[in-house]
Amino acid sequence: MVPAGASAQTKAVDVAKPFEEQRRQVLADLNEDKYREISVEDRSAVTAALGRILQHLQTQPDPAQLPEHNRVAVFNDQSLINTILTQAAADSRLICRRERTVGSNMPQNNCLTVAERRRQKNNAQDSVMRMQRTPKKVE
């Protein structure tokens, strides 16, 4: 069920392995910091896909024995889950930097997730663009 060339380390769900254990682990990880940057929509999409896979595998525990249309649906849900969780894990990665604050020579640790750093960068760029577009008042 895993696409050719896909690394097993990056896959959160592989229905070729015992599914219920993987399902419990993904749900536990969703409630902890591993996927802290996952959106509410993505969280519900993962939960729904896990439920659909569980329904298919309750009728036939061996994915290879599922009817073709069910096997395709399970594969698609598995791909959806793995794509969402891989991106959420990458965005949730914590990066710490030693930085000196303005007016101080004492460096401090500044730890932010990849997504938080991206948001800060986008907000700063938006602020600069707004300031450049705003006409100056003549007094």
Q: What is the pLDDT of residue 137?
A: 66
Same domain, 21 and 56: yes
Same domain, 70 and 31: yes
Q: What is the DSSP secondary-structure string of 102-113?
A: TT---EEEEEEE
Q: What is the pLDDT of residue 49?
A: 94
For the chain, the domain total comes to 2
**Contact of 113 with 36, CB cutoff 8 Å:** yes
Same domain, 79 and 106: no
Which of residues 134 and 100 earns the better pLDDT score? 100
Same domain, 86 and 98: no
Residue 14 included in any domain? yes
Confidence of residue 93 (pLDDT cuts 50, 70, 90): confident
The tokens of 50 are what? 């896990």
Round the average pLDDT of the chain to a whole number and report it.
82
Same domain, 59 and 104: no
Q: Determine the Cα–Cα distance for residues 10 and 86; give it in Å rounded to an integer.
A: 7
Structural domain of 123: 94-133
* pLDDT digit string, tens, across residues 31-87: 887 888 888 999 999 999 999 999 998 888 888 888 999 889 999 999 999 999 888
Q: What is the pLDDT of residue 51?
A: 93
Same domain, 69 and 101: no
Same domain, 87 and 98: no
Residue 3 included in any domain? no
Confidence of residue 11 (pLDDT cuts 50, 70, 90): low
